[in-house]
Chain A
Amino acid sequence: MTGLTAAQPGMRVLQRNLWVYRRTWRGSIFTSFLTPVLFLLAMGLGLGALVNQGAGAGGFGGVTYLAFLAPGLMAGSAMQTAAFESSFPIMARIQWRRNYEAMLATPLRVRDLLVGELGYIGFRLLTTAGVFFLVMLAFGVVRSPLAPLSVPAAVLTGYAFSPLIVAFSATQKGDTTGFNMLFRFVIMPLYLFSGSFFPIEQLPGALQALAWLTPLYNGVALTRGLVLGTAEPLTAMAHTAVLVAYAGLGLALARRNLGRRMVG
């Protein structure tokens, strides 16, 4: 019987997104690849020259500001990519373009949609982080044989956000107010204050404790430890566990919310 033999029907949803991406990938180059690299140049080299004279390398664990910043940006842009891909496009497929309605009239189920979407977001995270890793190699900031593991670490950082934001998107009623709030009051502050640009030790005590709980801080710390070779195994595992917990929580909520939204 048609439609029932696939081991993983969600791959069809991934395939659909890749067909679309085949046509739109040029547009994503700027946001996904060039923007983080421009940040790296402007801040890492431009601002970094001043920072290195002032605080000196001591403030950044014995490395240049560029080397400190680069893995932080890698994790930060993974969050940005995940947040974007999990918000507007998902809303579009729920309501604006109604793709999910069309998919759910086939053997596909809500869980298959999630598998496909998260698979596609994984592809976007992997390519973005992969290219960024090559840029870091070119800038000579990679200091550890474990550094290639920063790519999966960045992907995991994205996954700590993606399902949670998909779950949020499934509750939105079709206007962009909720997303604007999400980006202004959650994603942007996290991007700025989770240790990508400066060590969170610079934050007041209460905010520091808050930062430890955020997925992005854990993602930045993990990624940076792997790139610079400063990762302690136990701390690295703790960071990984926090990220996995957020991803797991998000997955459960995404499945519940998207189910409620699409099947009623």
Chain B
Amino acid sequence: MAAVPFAPVSHPSAASLISARGLTKRFGDFTAVDAIDFDVAPGESFGFLGPNGAGKTSTMRMIGCVSPISGGTLRVLGLDPAADGRRIRAQLGVVPQQDNLDTELTVRENLLIYARYFEIGGPDARRRADELLEFVQLADRAESEVEPLSGGLKRRLTIARALINDPTLILLDEPTTGLDPQARHLLWERLYQLKRRGATLVLTTHYMDEAEQLCDRLVVMDQAKIVAEGSPRELIERHVTREVLELRLPADDQAPLDGRFDGLEPLVERVEQRPDRVLLYTSDGEAAVERIHERGVRPESALIRRASLEDVFLRLTGRTLVD
């Protein structure tokens, strides 16, 4: 695969909350993160988009100062995780991929004890816990055990817990994986609120809609490397067309495309055949539909949609994000 060009990252700046140069993580012979460069500015929502195994979680663990780096340099809040892990972690809020709430304590106790880990105690901790329970809409479950809570409620509690120390930087690893659509939307809305208040969010996701909803800027990771960087809109403009025409062909018409879609340039920039459908990348979906009708192609269905990060990922790696 050819290297995908993207704007070179500027030199580390003192204003960056996170700055990584050649950041590498190896486990024995396996390279989980391969010399990546990125910067996260204050107030920014920054995403790592990529399929499972791309190196997103390893990167997050290094930023979270729980996994030593194997190479390169990393500065978090201007400090070196190897030397100042405690000082950095004191200012981080971490939402892990898998819930690790304290199931032997109640909802409120989870926040209170977490406050104690940050040496926040007494009235401060109680006030903060109550505010956060309100914020994630769990106030009425404060005295509940954790175990009977649904996945979405547990996730909200995990986010409240991550905010207990009023963090400068919030790390969210796959924040909505495994949640139903309603729970995801509520969570996104809460995270959007945080963003509006000026919080700096760093998140990983393999959902392109999540990245589009939450990220000001993101890097696309694949096989331990960063393959593209930019805002969701920039990435789409740079790597794919504005619209995508999705055609489903009848079951008895799955033969090779035999040139049926050839010669549609410049209207159709690129044709992608997927197992169950054909994608036509085009600046004008309506016009493309007309043209293929003229050619006598009779699809079962034709859907014109806006191009998404999923298409960017497919274009860059030849694979889909979630299979």
Q: Let me know if B67 and A3 touch, CB within 8 A.
A: no
Contact assessment for B100 and A102 in the assembled complex, using a CB-CB cutoff below 8 Å: yes
Q: Which residues of A contact B105 (CB under 8 A)?
A: 16, 19-20
Residues of B58-85 at the interface with A, using a CB-CB cut-off of 8 Å, are 64, 66-68, 85
Does residue B130 face the partner (Cβ distance < 8 Å to A)? no
What is the bound-complex CA distance between A97 and B101, given in angstroms? 8
User: In the bound complex, how far is the Cα of B114 from the Cα of A109, in angstroms?
Assistant: 14
**A6 → chain B closest CB, angstroms:** 5
- Contacting residues, chain B, for A24 (C-beta < 8 A): 104
> How many residues from B make CB contacts under 8 Å with A?
31
Kindly list chain A residues whose C-beta atoms are within 8 Å of the C-beta of B92.
Answer: 105
Question: Is there an interface contact between B67 and A264, defined as CB atoms closer than 8 Å?
Answer: yes
> Is residue B118 within 8 Å, beta carbon to beta carbon, of the partner chain?
yes
- Residues of A within 8 Å of B68, CB to CB, are 263-264
Contact, CB under 8 Å: A3 / B66: no
A106 touches B67 (CB 8 A): no
Q: Which of A15, A104, A107, A263 contacts B118 (CB 8 A)?
A: A107
Chain B's closest residue to A13 (CB) is B117
Minimum CB–CB distance for A42 against chain B, Å: 34
Residues in A whose Cβ lies below 8 Å from that of B96:
98, 101-102, 105
Q: Which of B85, B90, B98, B117 lies in contact with A1, CB distance below 8 A?
A: B90
* A176 proximal to B (CB < 8 A): no
- Whether A4 lies near B119 (C-beta < 8 A) is yes
Interface centre among A4, A103, A105 (most CB of B within 10 A): A105
Q: Taking CB as reference atom, which chain B residue is nearest A105?
A: B94
A20 CB contacts on chain B under 8 angstroms: 104-105
By the criterion CB–CB under 8 Å, are A105 and B64 in contact?
yes
A263 touches B66 (CB 8 A): yes
Supply 5 A–B pairs (Cβ within 8 Å), ascending by A. Answer: A4-B119, A19-B113, A97-B102, A102-B114, A105-B94
Contact string against B for A residues 88-130, beta-carbon threshold 8 Å, 1 for contact and 0 otherwise: 0000000001110111111111000000000000000000000
Contacts of B87 in A (CB 8 A): 1, 4, 107
SS class, residues of chain B in contact with chain A: loop
Q: Mark A5-35, 1 if CB is under 8 A from B, else 0.
A: 1100100100110011001100000000000
State whether B120 touches A2 (Cβ < 8 A). Answer: yes
Who on chain A is nearest to B171 by CB?
Answer: A105
List 4 additional contacts besides A4-B87, A98-B98; criterion CB under 8 Å.
A2-B118, A98-B96, A107-B87, A264-B68
- Residue contact B100 to A2, C-beta cutoff 8 Å: no
The CA of A223 and the CA of B92, in the complex, are separated in Å by 48
Q: Does B165 contact A (CB under 8 A)?
A: yes
List residues of B (241-292) whose CB comes within 8 Å of A's CBs: none
Is A101 a contact of B117 with CB atoms below 8 Å?
no
What is the CA–CA distance of A23 and B103 in the complex, to the nearest angstrom?
Answer: 13
User: Which residues of the other chain, A, contact B64 by a CB distance below 8 angstroms?
Assistant: 105
Known: A1-B87, A3-B165, A263-B68. Is A106-B117 also a contact (CB below 8 A)? yes
Identify which of A4, A106, A264 contacts B114 (C-beta below 8 A). A106
**A15 and B120 contacting across the interface, CB-CB below 8 Å:** no
Inside 8 A of B113's CB, which chain A residues have their CB?
A: 12, 15-16, 19
User: Cα distance A263–B165 when bound, in Å?
Assistant: 22
B274 to chain A, nearest CB (A): 38
A102–B101 contact, CB under 8 A? yes
Q: Does B141 have its Cβ within 8 Å of any Cβ on chain A?
A: no
A interface with B by C-beta (< 8 Å): 1-6, 9, 12, 15-16, 19-20, 23-24, 97-99, 101-109, 262-264
Query: Is residue B298 within 8 Å, beta carbon to beta carbon, of the partner chain?
Result: no
A255 CB, min distance to chain B CBs, angstroms: 16
A16 to B101, CA, bound (A): 13
Residues of A within 8 A of B27 (CB): 264
| B194-247 interface (Cβ within 8 A of A) | none
- Contact A3-B117, Cβ < 8 Å, known A105-B92, A107-B89: yes
Q: Look across to chain A and name the residue whose beta carbon is closest to the beta carbon of B161.
A: A102
Q: Which residues of B contact A9 (CB under 8 A)?
A: 117, 119
Evaluate contact between A98 and B119: CB separation under 8 angstroms: no
The CB with the most chain B CB atoms within 10 A, among A2, A16, A103, is that of A2
CB distance from B306 to the nearest CB of A (A): 37
Give the distance in Å from the alpha carbon of A20 to the alpha carbon of B92 in the complex. 26
Contact A3-B119, Cβ < 8 Å, known A102-B96, A104-B66, A106-B114: yes
Q: Chain A's nearest CB lies how many Å from the CB of B129?
A: 14
CB-defined contacts of A6 to chain B, threshold 8 Å: 119
Q: Which residue of A lies closest to B120 (CB)?
A: A2
In the complex with contacts A12-B116, A19-B109, A107-B117, A2-B102 CB distance below 8 A: no
Answer whether residue B293 sits at the interface, using C-beta atoms and an 8 A cutoff.
Answer: no
B107 nearest CB across to chain A (Å): 14
Contacts of B114 in A (CB 8 A): 102, 106
B315 proximal to A (CB < 8 A): no
Q: What residues of chain B lie closer than 8 Å to A2, measured between beta carbons?
A: 90-91, 118-120, 165
Q: How far is the CB of B239 from chain A (nearest CB, A)?
A: 35
B305 within 8 A of A: no
Least CB separation from A99: chain B residue: B102
When distances are taken between beta carbons in the complex, the residues of chain B under 8 Å from A109 are 85-86
- Please report the C-alpha to C-alpha distance between residue A19 and residue B104 in the assembled complex, in whole angstroms: 9
Top 6 A-B residue pairs of the complex, sorted by shortest distance between their CB atoms:
A98-B100, A3-B90, A106-B117, A105-B94, A3-B118, A102-B100
